[in-house]
Chains A and B, each alone.
Chain A
């Protein structure tokens, strides 16, 4: 709730905010109040939506009521290999253009495929520059129709190989590599730093190319896993914290990647939140008036700033300090602030 998280199913089934009916909240004044209800809407402002992703800044959520869905009757998982990431990105757009919203649609780049395969032996195509894992769910008839359409679409977009999982065990194996991608990367690098930007999907090829250039400039490697359906990119920056300067270089690279996400029309965090770590990048994404509006919302709930102080929303002074270092395209961020 605090980060409005969403996993592999969220393109079809929504984020946390789409699946929570109500929350019980303790306010900073010590009152207990309920936001939302088991009905499909409630009178007044949508405080329930506002609580989602608010990182504990507005109140203490002590109880959550979620909507449940019946398990899908049928599931099919297929995996397609591509010789380049761009073709994989186009295939994702093609599936959606065909009117299909898969239950899951994930992409991994070559480095992520290799790391996952070495770790769990999922049967991934380690020659591929990218693989797409696509899960279709629904009634048997619906899934059969969609499988045919997706296979045709992947082929038309140049998939070099397509495998369809034969049974539950194989479906689990296809997913195992993706789900183990983070620990798999942990095996090949002393440390890794996981980023969480979201981008318009059409920018994928450009963003991955820029990430690779930015990484090379820092002499670091980056491995990419991508919630392809919804544009949420998780670049994993590999570094060794025991080597002097590498942690700082990884942090700088992470910040550059997030600023790249904003530049192409995306956001600095899809689901992992801002906390204190991404707070400087908030200054890149939002203007002064917007940041002031966020502070006013915070003050409406917690005038003294007692809940999670310093998180989620930067002070304008912090933005000025950060901005002094990062003049973007010659534009000074928050120019109205006095520079010291």
Chain B
């Protein structure tokens, strides 16, 4: 009998909204993205995207309120890794964030987090499901050159 391999593996964690948990999320991301088959360089990029999403969720979404939490979910598909980060904040419109590459914004102190997530991941979207917080979805596809296995 042929063993049945599940189509999707899911890893889910809820973290207290505290900056110290950003490193916890990075560690989980590195392990999950390694398991998904990404090489070291891609793991670093995915880890940075999750780092920036966690910062946005804790700092901007939950306003650094440690009584709130951040929900993190990884879905390992055969061909891609899908990551969801949800906070308990009021949301934001990524279209309203100025392009940090434009000359007048180049020396701005902030505003590069979302830009880096977009640069490192293949898909990025922001949703405000049922008014219960902001959920960021990021997808990284496995290309034939990135497999470690």
Physical interaction between A and B: no
Chain B: residues with CB nearer than 8 A to chain A?
Answer: none
